[in-house]
Structures are given as C-alpha cells and as structure tokens.
Amino acid sequence: MSGCCDHDDYQSVFSGRFARRQSRRYHRRGLTPAARGIVDFATAQGIEGATVLEIGGGVGQIQIELLRRGAARVTNLEISQNYEAEAERLLAQAGMTGRVTRRFLDIAQAPDEVEPADVVVLHRVVCCYRDYARLLSVAGAHARRMLVYSHPAANVVNRLEFGAENLYRRFKGSDFRVFLHAPEDMVRAARSGGLTVAGRTHARDWDVVALAR
Ligand SMILES: C[S@@+](CC[C@H](N)C(=O)[O-])C[C@H]1O[C@@H](n2cnc3c(N)ncnc32)[C@H](O)[C@@H]1O
C-alpha cells in the first residue's frame, strides 16, 4: 500500500489498548483541544442535518460531538479494526447507536467506494500516512461543503519526537512510520478539488486546517 505500511502495521499500532486509552481519555476529559477546534469550526459553519465522513476516526469522539450538535449521520472509515468495542460502547452511552456506519477501508486506495459527505474530517491521520497528497486530495474531493483536518505542528519538539518514534519503530523491526508533512504542501493537496482555506488554528502541538467550498 502507498500509505507507508501494511494494514497489519496499523492493526498492531492502533491496538485495542490504544482504543481503550482514547475512549477513557474522552470519557474523563472530553475532546482534546485540537479535536475541539475541528468540532467548533464545523459547528460554526452550520452542520444541522449534515452528513459527516470521518477518515481514521478511531473510537469516534468527534463524531459523537458533531451528532450532538445537529449532524444527521456519520460514516467512519478505518484501517484498524481494534476500535469497534469502544466505539460501540461510546455510541450506546450517548444514545446514538445506529447513527454511525463504520467501515474498514482506505479511501486513498478505493475512492470510488465511498459516497461524498457534507463534512469530511481527518484528525491525527495525515501524520500516519505517507501519501498525504493522495489522501487529502481524495478527502477534499469527497467534501460537499467542508474539509477539516489536523496535523502535528512543524516545530522542533515534534520533529524530535517523530524522529525518536521512527527510530524506535525501526529498532523494533516495525515498518510503521509517522510523518511530519510540510503544512503548505498539505494545504495545496487539500485545495486541489476546488476548496479554499476558511480557517487555521493552533492547539498545543497540533494545527487545525479548515477548508470550505
Ligand atoms: C493516531 S490515530 C487517530 C484516531 C482518532 N482520529 C483519534 O484522534 O483518536 C490515526 C488513525 O488513522 C487511521 N488511518 C490512517 N490512515 C487511514 C486511511 N487512509 N484510511 C482510514 N483510516 C486511516 C489509523 O488506522 C488510525 O486509527
């Protein structure tokens, strides 16, 4: 696959343990600042009755918050299959079972298998995918109204952290890698389908970029 890694690598990195940690964090403290930035932007643009496509949505925290704020329904695309139990539990707790369709699919590899949606979201996903240009241009082409994504800020701390993580993974014999793609190159790819940048915010070590049609 052109992402960087075999799907098995995603399956082992984004494990059941990782899923439980994300779910626990959301349960105790709500959304992270960057995830809140994504939800705030989408909500401010108006999401009443909107369809949402989240790529790499994990346990689905952002989806639950968008549904709470008026979105009609969500499709989640994932490569890892380890989130399902936690995702189901969070949806049941929120009384939203049945409003999210969860599929296992890499949209960059199979764009024609996915319906467009009003709002397309990628939170903490481009940094796990080598071919960001393909992923973001396909994501943008599926966005009827807006595309909102986050990426790690291109700063020294992240460079050191990402470098150390890739070194550790290489040492462990894993092919999985994390990426600090150039922010402006990502924007160019996201805009390629006719979207324009409508907002950019910074939240801790993450940047949020929002584009609208
Ligand atoms: C760091 S996790 C973030 C999960 C969730 N968005 C969150 O913030 O809790 C990145 C996720 O993106 C998924 N992913 C990466 N590339 C993807 C792609 N092309 N299609 C679907 N999922 C993808 C991975 O499987 C992984 O679960």
* Domain residue ranges of the chain, discontinuous segments joined by +: 7-212
| Mean predicted lDDT score pLDDT of the chain | 95
Q: Rg for the chain (alpha carbons), in Å?
A: 16
Closest approach atom of ligand 1 to CA 83: 27
Q: What is the pLDDT of residue 3?
A: 44
pLDDT at 26 over 50: yes
Is 93:64 a contact under the CB 8 Å cutoff? no
CA distance 83 to 87: 6
For the entire predicted model, the pTM comes to 0.96
Mean pLDDT of 58-81: 98
Q: What is the pLDDT of residues 97-114, one digit of tens each?
A: 999 999 999 999 999 999
Is 145:121 a contact under the CB 8 Å cutoff? no
Give the bridge partners for 153, in sequence order: none
CA distance 53 to 73: 9
Closest approach atom of ligand 1 to CA 122: 6
Task: Give the sign of the dihedral formed by CA 79, CA 76, CA 116, CA 145.
Answer: negative
pLDDT at 2 over 70: no
Q: Of 11, 128, 206, which is best to mutate to test ligand 1, by the most ligand atoms within 8 angstroms of its C-beta?
A: 128
CA distance 178 to 165: 8
Question: Under DSSP, is residue 118 helix (H, G, I), strand (E, B) or coil?
Answer: strand
CATH topology of domain 7-212: Rossmann fold (3.40.50)
CA distance 39 to 69: 9
Mean pLDDT of 11-22: 96
Residue with tokens 């599926």: 142
